[in-house]
Amino acid sequence: MTTLISLDARTGQPTGESWPASTTADIDAAVRAAHAVAADWGASNGLARATLLRDLASALEADREGLVTCADRETALGSPRLNGELDRTTFQLRRFADMAERGEPFRTEDDPAVTGAPPVGHPAMQRQRVPLGPVAMFAASNFPFAFSVLGGDTASALAAGCPVVVKAHPGHPALSQRVHTLIQAVLARQGLPAGLIGLVQGAGIEVGVALIRHPLIAAGAFTGSTRGGLALQAEANARPRPIPFYGELGAINPVVALPGALTAQGAELATTLAGSITLGCGQFCTNPGLLVMLDHPATYTFIGQLQAALAALQPHPMLTPGIRQAFDAGVAQLLQAGADLVWQSQGQGTAPGPHLLTVGAQRFMAEAALREEVFGPSNLIVRCADVEEVLGVLMAVGGSLTVTVWGVETDTADHRALVRTAMQIAGRVLFAGVPTGVAVTRAQQHGGPWPASTAPMTTSVGDAALDRFLRPVCLQDAPAWLQARAGVPC
């Protein structure tokens, strides 16, 4: 039996805690327990769902000190960052609680009967939504609270009326177990079945594959690498009955920096961008991995300012030794594909230093390897002769969670073309600031064309994340008792 070991992220040494990986029987039991409660939870009202979500948030806050200490040991993300992330997690839980209580999952569209022959005449119809059923949720490495056991995917699925089976990330097994213990205590206090929120874990791919293949799983939600997400999506599609798979994958998140913006506030923008590149040791899905610039004196001044700003920063250790190895390999691949190293810091111990590389636009568009995400504190500067080359670079990216465009305040044909192209390839387009930091709001869109996500019409952050786990159903000439339920499934 494979054993899952908790490691100290700063030393790489075991902490003394370990657990057996979930067996096929364990996975089957967790999914069947979720399936057993699916009908009742799907028929629950908004108040019941809200009560659970709010109590889960309170349970996290009550154990804040222990949870943050455990998370810091396993991730090296630091107490300030982790406390902020825990606050975001409880905010998400309570936001989806509010949505459930005010009836968002139960919205209906009434279409009263019209007498006469079709196409004008039609029976009475009511369009409502029903929960999909048990959701397989794959936790992320880089957000041990907000995209993990009780993260946004779990919160939105529960608010939609779906049970959840979480595949914990092996990078923080002790934290995952601790959070799941809190969950089970909350479920017991509310008299809810333990299977409403299940947990399975393992370091290999076998556990995740077995979970997504289980015939009683109705949907999958994933945050992680393009390679991992693509493999799981293939499994979801290859089932005898394919299921929706909502994968939020990798992105290189281009920043287009036009000379006007750099001339006006280059030093300030350099400091801001350097902080974004190194934030969380570059281990954000919205990390700005690409800087697209025109051949202009302001560009070369800015590169020097950015180098100086990066030199003042030292990232912390990466989440796992494997992620550090992948970062080093990613930088090496960029160099092999034709990029030149502008500057790098040597780093300290297990923490890598920031890397700044550069390449011409034509080379970038010709070499697919230059468009691969490097998960860590690096940035590739693409030098463009004109706006047409900038547009070509963006289209070569193909799909991204974000595109940032600095300097398009005036309405010109070039600026319209840049904005139009940015909107074609990204789920979120920024005109100020940097892409790191994804607000949980009603208008948020965290997703984008492939390879940013597997379902670009959906979002994994914000209020609309709820919609992923609800399927529309039309009720025609429904009896009065069913209409009286006002969209709550029976």
Residues designated as active site: 248, 285
Longest CA–CA span in the chain (Å) reads 78
31 touches 217 (CB < 8 A): yes
354 touches 314 (CB < 8 A): no
CA separation, residue 462 to residues 96, 117, 123, 439 (Å)? 9, 43, 36, 7
CB-based contacts of 192: which residues, under 8 Å, 6+ apart? 37, 52
- Residue of 251, 269, 253, 267 lying closest to 407 (CA atoms): 269
What b/e string do you get for 436-474 counting C-beta neighbours within 10 Å, with b at 16 or more? bebebeeebbbbbbebbbbbeebbbbbbbbbbbbbeeee
Please say whether the dihedral angle defined by the alpha carbons of residues 451, 259, 335 and 378, taken in this order, is positive or negative: negative
CA–CA dist 226, 373 (Å, integer): 9
478 touches 484 (CB < 8 A): no
Burial class (CB in 10 A: 0-12, 13-18, 19+), 420: exposed
